[in-house]
Structure formats: C-alpha cells, structure tokens
A and B are shown apart, each in its own frame.
Chain A
Amino acid sequence: MPDTIQAPALPVGHYGYDQVDRAFLADRVEQFRDQVARRIAGTLSEDEFKPLRLMNGLYLQLHAYMLRIAIPYGVLDSRQMRELAHIARTYDRDYGHFTTRQNLQFNWIRLEDTPDILARLADVDMHAIQTSGNCIRNVTCDQFAGAAQDELVDPRVHAEILRQWSTLHPEFTFLPRKFKIAISGSPNDRVAARFHDIGLVAKPAPDGGTMFDVFVGGGMGRTPIVGVHLRDDLPEEDLLAYLEAMVRVYNEYGRRDNIYKARIKILVQALGTEGYRAKVDAEFAAMNRARYRLPPETVAAIRARFGTPDLHAPDDAAEQLARARRADPAFDRWVRTNTHPHRAPGHISAVISLKPAGGIPGDATSAQMDIIADLADRHAFGEIRVTHMQNLVLGHVRQDELHALWQALRAADLASANIGLIGDIIACPGLDYCSLANARSIPIAQKLSARFASPELQETIGPIEIKISGCINACGHHHAGHIGILGVDKKGEEFFQLTLGGSPGSDASVGQILGPALPEDATVDAIARLVDAYLVHRTGGERFLDTYRRLGAALFKDAVYATA
C-alpha cells in the first residue's frame, strides 16, 4: 500500500467507529423514528412505546422528557463534547447534566425532536441505546483507566467488548429489571464494583493474559447490599460465555412479580451464593462454549480501534510543575486535590470539578462543554472522561502544561479544588426533576457546598464523601456515602435522614441510619456539627470514615441530636 494513504486518526481512549458501526446506528435511528411515528399515529400504545423509548434513553420526567445519552465507559472525545454542547443550545436549556453512570442527561427535551437529536448524535458516533430500560445498561469504568499509576490492566477494551456484546442482546433486553456492570483494572476500586449487579476487576493472568475477579448481586436502592465474590480466576476467553450464563440464570429465575424485588441482588440472596453459583456453573457447562468464546484475536481487533496517546514530555516537566506550584499557592492546592498520579513520567491526570460552591453537582453549560473540548484538544489528546462522582477528567496532561490548563479552567469557573472533599457531593436530580422523588436533593447539595465553600476549610476537613438521594431508589448512592442523606416525605414535608459509614470502594460498606430525619435547614446544620465532632476526635491522618469506624455512631448521634 502506498504510504500516502493514511487511515483517519482513531480517537484516544475509546473505540473508533467504522462504517459498519455507523450503518448500525443509522438503522437504530430509523427504527426509533418509526416507533415515534407509530406512537403519534396511535398504533403503538403508550404502554408499548414506553420500554422502547426507555431503551433509547427517553424518560418522561415531572416537567418534560429527559434524554440520557450513553458515554460508554465514561470516555468521549472533543468532537462529541462539542456536539453535546450544540444539542444543549439547540434543543435544551443550554446545559447538560453528567450522571453517576458516566452518562449525560438533557432534562428539557421534546419527544418530536428526539429522532433528530439521535441522528445528530449518530453523526459523532454517539447514541442513547440502553441508557434506561430493563436491559444491560452503560458499562462503567475507572475514570483513570489507561493512565493511573496503580493500574494492572487497562479495562476499557473489555468495557468496549461488553458494550458491543450487550448492545441489542437478543436474550437480555427484557430482563426482570435493569442490569448494571462496572469494570476496573486497578486493585484500588474506583468503580464501586461491589455495588453493581456485576462488578469485574481485571488483572494479569499467570500466562500473561488477562483474567477477572467477578462480583455479583451488589446494589443500592431500597435494599442496599454489598456484592458477593463469585470467582477470582475467570479467563478472558470465557468472559462473554460466563456473563451469558450469569445473566441467563437471572433472566430465568429473577422475580418479576414485584419491581422492588426484581434486581439480581434479591435472587442471589434468595438462592445464596452457593446456590446461584451452582446454577451459573450448570448453565456454563451446558452452553455452547465455543460459540461464546472471546478469542485473543477479537480482543486485539477491538483494541486496535482505540487511539493511543503519544506520551512524550520534556525532561524537566516535573520540575516545571514543581516551580509553578511553589509560585502559586492556589494552583498548588488544586494540584493537591484535583490530580491523580500518571503511569508515564512527566504526565498527570487532572480532574475538572463540576461541583462549584453553591452549584448543581454534575451540571455543565454548553459554553463550559465547548471550553472543555478545546482544553482537551490542547492538553489531553482530545480525550475527556466522565467520573461516577459527576466530574470530568483529562487523563493525559503534560506536567509542564498543567498550570496553563488550570488558568484556563479557572477563567471558566471550572477550577474548584474539592475533589474527594466535602464539596464533591453526589446528588440525584431529586424532586426538581424526577417523578419518583420525595424530596429535593439539589438545594441541599447547594447549601452544603456553599457552607463549606472555603478551599482551606475543605482541605482541613480532608477526604469525605457526601451523597444525597431524593428517595429510597438511591440514585444519589446515599448508602455508600461516608455521610448519606436520604430525602423522605413526612406528611407532605421534605425531611432528610442521615446515614453514616457507607463506602463504595475496596472497603465497601453500607451506611447505617443515625436517627430521626431532619428538616432541610436543620440537616445542613447537623452536618456541620458532625464535621466539628469529627475534627475534635480524629487522630493522625484519619478520614471521617475511619474515625466513624473506630468510635462508632454514639458521639455523632450526640452531635446531631443533643442540641438544646
């Protein structure tokens, strides 16, 4: 082949579509256009249309349709981000909301516009497939994948394989309930693997390949459960076959009589770990394993569709960064809180906080999206990651360019130095948007982040995760919050129940209820008192969670409720 013909550059960090993938998406858009037309003509009832629109990400919320767009394993490129900004400007109210499943939601969409929006998304290789409905949802992944120093295996290729495998899966698109898979490649769990229907942790196999730890039956919602460890030695070539077996057992035996008992966690609890494992093993033994085998050539072919960053930094990049930090204390603080060590010398991962003091967690304006796209092009190979904490990450930034990046972020009000700190709050959309909610989550998040706005104070308090859900469905992950806040309805008034001691990570635990629910303003004050009590009683570098685990709930209970 003459070397003048060059393949178009592949996107860094995610799978690059080819013509076959684009033809598939075009067919999918036409299918939805047809469904919308049948709904408007009345030949499709709302009951029949509902699951079809849900599997294209379209929810009917309190005030309008919400469109949830898939960002597979949380990675998108600058071209896609600009298209999202365009859609926000054209079809919504000039902003979008990044979610805990690393997706993006538009909250003010008209049904008639959705086929056109999906067509525009397809132009940049995006879609809203299976972002809702009782099917396998967007697979989530470590936001520092492919960059983190502590990573053993880059899990994004396998996340893409799972995305493809689960896309319009013929057998698993009408499951008893939604099904969420997370995958990590680091021993430090940043994906909450134990709080997923299936959690996978990739690691090197003795033969030099890849194998997986498999967790099943974790979840939040009304019945928070830490997942059980099913096996630690799943070979890569059996990944799809084994997942087929796991999901099939769920499809056959999962409860369908009560939506609150329909998740796989309830089945695993009912059968017991051994009972569930026996059924999966029987299915695995009976199936045509050759058909579902994932050969190394297939993994390699999909890996080859990923662009890779060319990581070259000047020899003195680290020294330049150190100088900039010494010269600028505000920058220094942001580097301390908002960056993560990179595997390559002279590089670093930068977290863009979408949690400004008093702001709505996870929201970004279309202008901010455009700026972030430009900065990704300039500093991070055009690659942007969405975190399950509702922030954004530029994964591969040269250390000598970090100060310039920070200055540009600061100018766009995107440089809050609060990652992992008390201002880095997860909140569900709550009663401001959601028809299921009992209480408004967003205002309490805004009040808390305003109360603890000072970066100095936040850094003094140290790592602490506050998570807020507006109802027991727990979309704000309150069960896994060091401090969880659950909105409840008491005779038409919004109250908030506090839970302490939850954790999503390798030390996963479910938070415990502290005491009676409180009104909104009292909740903000109560959390301030909780934090004061922690600051008095902590020893050494103890996190809030560690102090709670060491001393128990009593002292915090006193701090919250023993006010005269």
Chain B
Amino acid sequence: MPLLENGRLVPDDWTTLDADAPLPATGPVIVPLSRLEEGLARPHGEKLGVAIPQDAEIDTLRTALPRLSLVAVTFPIFRDGRAFSQARALREHLHFTGEIRATGKPLPDQYEFLLRCGVSTVDLPPGSEPEVWARAHTRFRTAYQPSVLGERAEGVTLRRLLG
C-alpha cells in the first residue's frame, strides 16, 4: 500500500509478514510481535521491524529496541487512539529514534496528531486520497502544547510553531 512520509508518497522497502509466512533470511522485514524472537534470530545487520497490536505494553520492547529499525503501530478503527500513546511512549520513554509507522485505518484528519506523537510514516489505508493527506500536513501553523517533536515555543507561551 502507498506509504506517506512528510506529506509525500515515498517508496516502501519493507516487507510485512503475517503470522504464517516464511521469514526471509535477508532484507527489511516487519514481523508481528508474536514472531519477534524469530526475527531477532536473523543475522545482525538485517533490518528488522515489529508490528505491535494496539494493546501491547511498550515496555515489552525495551530489550529488543536497539535491534529494531521500525515499529508499526496500528489503528484497527480510527477512533481507537491507543497507538497515539504507544508512539509517544516509544519516543519519550524508550528514546526510540527509528521509524514509527502507522497502519490500519487512520484518517487524514489525524495526520498532525500522528506526527506530533512521534509517528514518521503512514501506511495509507485503501481508498486514501494522498492529496487530502498532503493538505492535512500543512493545515495548521500553530499547536497549543509541547510534543515529542520538540517544536519551537513561541516566546514563553504554550504555543508551538509547526512546519
């Protein structure tokens, strides 16, 4: 599916595995959380990502995280906002600097929220209009609270300058 980064479509080098598919020995692969140990057993240097369900405790990734290049969080429905907290915890508690990918069914109207919680790419749901996502990316010039992006504060106010 099309991948969005910074409001633009970008190529996706990753292969996402389901619970049963054979694990390739090389190449960037996203494994489900249930197969994380298997993924970690691949040769070091091969890029590994993990897809976590929305109810996973982020702290369970603590030991594996230095080996992970990507964590995929998911929105089974757009109204289930747990992945926002997961993304923020990855950045803020575990200081994860790799790619956080949003999957599932987020809405373009949530794009700024995703970015400000630390998500870096969005696996666009089927039927998405990339231009609507692009508009959402530049919609607001100001936010009213700090975020993990560490945007510049406007003076001593709570306001943060976006973009």
A residues at B contact (CB < 8 Å): 20, 23-24, 27-28, 30-31, 34-35, 38, 43, 48, 51-52, 134, 161, 164-175, 240, 248, 251-252, 256, 286-288, 291-292, 295, 297-298, 300-302
B79 with A165: CB separation less than 8 A: no
A287 with B92: CB separation less than 8 A: yes
- The CA-CA distance from A23 to B147 in the complex, in Å, is 20
- The CA-CA distance from A301 to B92 in the complex, in Å, is 27
- The CA-CA distance from A173 to B111 in the complex, in Å, is 12
A174 with B79: CB separation less than 8 A: yes
- Closest residue of chain A to B106 (Cβ to Cβ) is A174
Q: Which residues of B contact A252 (CB under 8 A)?
A: 82, 85
Across chains A and B, which 6 residue pairs bring their CB atoms closest together, nearest first?
Answer: A174-B81, A170-B116, A170-B113, A164-B144, A297-B156, A171-B84
Q: How large is the interface on B (under 10, 10 to 19, 20 to 34, 35 or more residues)?
A: 35 or more
Verify if B80 is at the interface (C-beta below 8 Å from A).
yes
Verify if B134 is at the interface (C-beta below 8 Å from A).
no
Verify if B154 is at the interface (C-beta below 8 Å from A).
yes
Q: Known contacts A48-B107, A297-B156; is A31 also within 8 Å of B85 by CB?
A: no
B140 with A295: CB separation less than 8 A: no
- Closest residue of chain A to B112 (Cβ to Cβ) is A170
- Closest residue of chain B to A288 (Cβ to Cβ) is B92
- Closest residue of chain B to A163 (Cβ to Cβ) is B144
Q: Which residues of B contact A171 (CB under 8 A)?
A: 81, 84-85, 88, 113, 117
A251 with B81: CB separation less than 8 A: yes
- The CA-CA distance from A171 to B79 in the complex, in Å, is 12
B112 with A38: CB separation less than 8 A: no
Q: Which residues of B contact A301 (CB under 8 A)?
A: 155-157
Verify if B150 is at the interface (C-beta below 8 Å from A).
yes
Q: Known contacts A170-B147, A288-B92, A298-B156; is A27 also within 8 Å of B139 by CB?
A: yes
- The CA-CA distance from A34 to B108 in the complex, in Å, is 12
A164 with B132: CB separation less than 8 A: no
Q: Known contacts A27-B140, A174-B79; is A251 also within 8 Å of B92 by CB?
A: no
- Closest residue of chain B to A176 (Cβ to Cβ) is B81
A164 with B82: CB separation less than 8 A: no
- Listed by A's residue number, 28 A-B pairs whose Cβ atoms lie within 8 Å are A20-B154, A23-B141, A24-B140, A34-B135, A38-B132, A43-B132, A48-B107, A51-B79, A164-B145, A164-B158, A165-B144, A167-B144, A168-B112, A170-B113, A170-B117, A171-B85, A171-B88, A174-B78, A174-B79, A174-B80, A174-B81, A175-B81, A240-B145, A248-B85, A291-B148, A298-B157, A301-B157, A302-B157
A31 with B113: CB separation less than 8 A: no
Q: Which residues of A contact B146 (CB under 8 A)?
A: 291-292
CB distance from B37 to the nearest CB of A (A): 24
How many A-B residue contacts, CB cutoff 8 Å? 108
10 further A-B pairs in the complex, CB-CB below 8 A; given A165-B158, A168-B140, A252-B85: A24-B140, A24-B142, A27-B142, A34-B135, A164-B159, A170-B115, A172-B81, A174-B80, A286-B93, A298-B158
Q: In residues 107-163 of chain B, which contact A (Cβ within 8 Å)?
A: 107, 109-110, 112-117, 129, 132, 135, 139-148, 150, 154-159
A251 with B82: CB separation less than 8 A: yes
- The CA-CA distance from A296 to B110 in the complex, in Å, is 32
Q: Which residues of B contact A168 (CB under 8 A)?
A: 112-113, 140, 143-144
- The CA-CA distance from A224 to B150 in the complex, in Å, is 40
- The CA-CA distance from A331 to B79 in the complex, in Å, is 53
- Closest residue of chain A to B127 (Cβ to Cβ) is A43
A173 with B78: CB separation less than 8 A: no
B109 with A251: CB separation less than 8 A: no
Q: Which residues of A contact B116 (CB under 8 A)?
A: 170
CB distance from A70 to the nearest CB of B (A): 14
B145 with A31: CB separation less than 8 A: no
- The CA-CA distance from A480 to B77 in the complex, in Å, is 35
A169 with B145: CB separation less than 8 A: yes
- Closest residue of chain A to B155 (Cβ to Cβ) is A301
- Closest residue of chain B to A247 (Cβ to Cβ) is B85
- Closest residue of chain A to B93 (Cβ to Cβ) is A286
Q: Known contacts A24-B141, A43-B129; is A31 also within 8 Å of B157 by CB?
A: no
Q: Which residues of A contact B88 (CB under 8 A)?
A: 171, 248
Q: Which of A20, A31, A166, A297 is B142 in contact with, Cβ under 8 Å?
A: A20
Q: Which residues of B contact A298 (CB under 8 A)?
A: 156-158
Q: Which residues of A contact B132 (CB under 8 A)?
A: 38, 43
CB distance from B122 to the nearest CB of A (A): 14
B142 with A295: CB separation less than 8 A: no
Q: Which residues of A contact B158 (CB under 8 A)?
A: 161, 164-165, 298, 302
Q: Which residues of B contact A248 (CB under 8 A)?
A: 85, 88
Q: In residues 88-112 of chain B, which contact A (Cβ within 8 Å)?
A: 88, 92-93, 107, 109-110, 112
Q: Which residues of A contact B159 (CB under 8 A)?
A: 20, 164
CB distance from B77 to the nearest CB of A (A): 9
